[in-house]
Structure 1
Amino acid sequence: MPTSIAEGKDWSVVEFQRHLPDTVTDVGPGEGTYAKLFRPVHAGIWWTGIEIHKPYVAKHKLRSTKTRSMYDELHVEDARTSDQHLFHRDLVIFGDVLEHMPREDAIALLGKAEAAGAWNILVSLPIVEAPQGEVDGNPNEAHIHHWDADDMDAVLAELGGHVESMRGETLGVWWWSRRG
């Protein structure tokens, strides 16, 4: 779904405040959960969104010409085929998005962000069985891979850097950083 549950968001805000990124790419913003959550914490951030489902842009007002948009730059495309430069940011967010693709694609996408020079990566995803099919006519909302928290720990450790995590009842949240 283009929404996200509240679990782990407080922890994410604390990490965000600790790192205070100036440039962010939000992969699969849906309704803009992370832009809404983080914008009030640190003004002046350049927000890039990569949204695969074009109807979400208007439905969730991700880009607006009349008022301030949630995203300064918005690309309607599949992040797996996006230009590498979109991942050269202080923070790349994969919030409730990696479960919507095969594991190999998710690992490649995380590697793409690291290789592009992302300083920090935020990952949030279900760590319990959470079957889901198409939502609102969007086949990209189907859950393709069920992640185990230990598996995500290992995948992010392979990127090098420093990893912190929070495991909730249903979601796991990870903050990967080059600097620690």
Structure 2
Amino acid sequence: MPTSDAEGKDWSLARHTRHQPATVTDIGPGNGTYARLMRPAYRGVWWTAIEIHKPYVRKYKLTATKTRLDAYDEIHTIDARTAPDHLFHRDLVIAGDVLEHMPRQDAVDLVHRIHAAGAWHILVSVPIVESIQGETEGNPHETHLHQWDQDDMDQVLTSLGGSLEAYYGNTLGVWWWSRR
């Protein structure tokens, strides 16, 4: 679904506030959960969205305007797996409830590309319980193709080096990876 469970969002917001990134790329924003959560808390941040399903851009009003500042400054309607690396050269890249929508190896490769492109921080959120989901709202990209568990994602992110913080809820796992 283009929405996300509320679990771990306060934890994520606290890290965003602590690190205060100036540039953010949100992969698969769906209805814009992270921009709506984080933009009001800390102004002056340039937000980029990579959204594979073009109808969501209009439906969820993802484009920022003079009167709507809790959305995205820049939107690319492309598959993150083929997105140009410069979109990942950001202070923060968010993969919030998106990596389960691709085969595991594609997700691992994407995380490694984000790291190699120079992201300073990476925020990942995925279901850590069985979460079967098919096409939603006519979007085949909403299908869950891999079921993550906390140990698997821990290993993927610790392989990058740097530092890692994690939150394990009843449904979601959330990780904040940093270069330092």
TM value normalised by structure 2: 0.97
Give the corresponding residue for 1:41: 41
Per-residue deviation, residues 41-75 of structure 1 (Å, max 9, x unmatched): 11010000000000000000012567445111100
Secondary structure of 1:62's counterpart equals coil
Letter of the 1:39 counterpart: R
Give the corresponding residue for 2:15: 15
Whole-angstrom CA distance in 1 between matches of 2:25 and 2:173: 20
Structure 1 stretch 35-44 or stretch 57-66: which is displaced more?
57-66
Whole-angstrom CA distance in 2 between matches of 1:85 and 1:64: 21
Contact (CA 8 Å) 2:64, 2:73: kept in 1 or not?
A: no
Give the corresponding residue for 1:6: 6
- 4+ runs of 1 displaced by more than 6 Å? none
Give the corresponding residue for 2:87: 86
Secondary structure of 1:47's counterpart equals strand
Residue pairs, 1:90-169, within 5 angstroms:
90-169=91-170
Letter of the 1:77 counterpart: I
Secondary structure of 1:118's counterpart equals coil
Give the corresponding residue for 2:58: 58
Contact (CA 8 Å) 2:11, 2:167: kept in 1 or not?
A: yes
Structure 1: any 5+ residue segments left out of the alignment? none
TM value normalised by structure 1: 0.97
Whole-angstrom CA distance in 2 between matches of 1:176 and 1:10: 16
Secondary structure of 2:132's counterpart equals coil
RMSD: 1.0
Secondary structure of 2:147's counterpart equals coil
Give the corresponding residue for 2:77: 76
